[in-house]
């Protein structure tokens, strides 16, 4: 099973590390102020995360009649992970907070991955 999801594990670890960086540390890296940049980052992070999940489940099931499971499981895991990260930001990570808009951005990224995955899968069938 690991061979189908290794990219997902790596990307999930990256998300955990990035979201665990204290907020005051992130302020040092601001070069230009872009409104809602953090929400755009969430969208991209979860678009990629969901795409890796869909790819892993596609290869794990390797059967077209289980396509619905691919998207249901992948979306549920991505959403659950996003909520877990927000809860960790609220309760564990310093100078971080729980934000509903972050979860909304995660959901938009997941939905965008759902909408674009069939095309991505066709283009990258062997490489993703």
Which residue do the tokens 């790596």 mark?
Answer: 10
pLDDT, position 55: 93
pTM value is: 0.88
Domain ranges of the chain: 2-123
Q: pLDDT by residue (tens digit) across 111-121?
A: 999 999 989 98
Q: pLDDT by residue (tens digit) across 16-36?
A: 999 888 866 666 666 777 778
Per-residue pLDDT of the chain (128 residues; tens, 9 = 90+): 788 999 999 999 999 999 888 866 666 666 777 778 889 999 999 999 999 999 999 888 876 667 788 999 999 999 999 999 999 999 998 788 899 999 999 999 999 999 999 899 888 876 66
Taking CB atoms within 8 Å and a gap of at least 24, the contacts of 15-20 are 15/45, 15/49, 15/81, 15/85, 16/85, 18/45, 19/85, 19/88, 19/89, 19/93, 19/96, 20/88, 20/89, 20/93, 20/96
């Amino acid at each position: 099973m690991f061979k189908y999801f290794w990219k997902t594990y790596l990307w999930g670890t990256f998300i955990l590390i990035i979201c665990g960086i204290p907020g005051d540390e992130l302020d040092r890296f601001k070069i230009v102020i872009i409104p809602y940049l953090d929400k755009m980052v969430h969208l991209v992070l979860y678009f990629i995360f969901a795409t890796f999940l869909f790819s892993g489940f596609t290869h794990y099931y390797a059967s077209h009649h289980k396509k619905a499971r691919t998207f249901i499981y992948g979306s549920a895991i991505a959403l659950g992970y996003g909520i877990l990260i927000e809860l960790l930001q609220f309760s564990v990570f310093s100078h971080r907070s729980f934000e509903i808009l972050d979860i909304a951005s995660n959901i938009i990224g997941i939905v965008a991955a759902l909408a674009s995955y069939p095309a991505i899968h066709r283009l990258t069938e062997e490489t993703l």
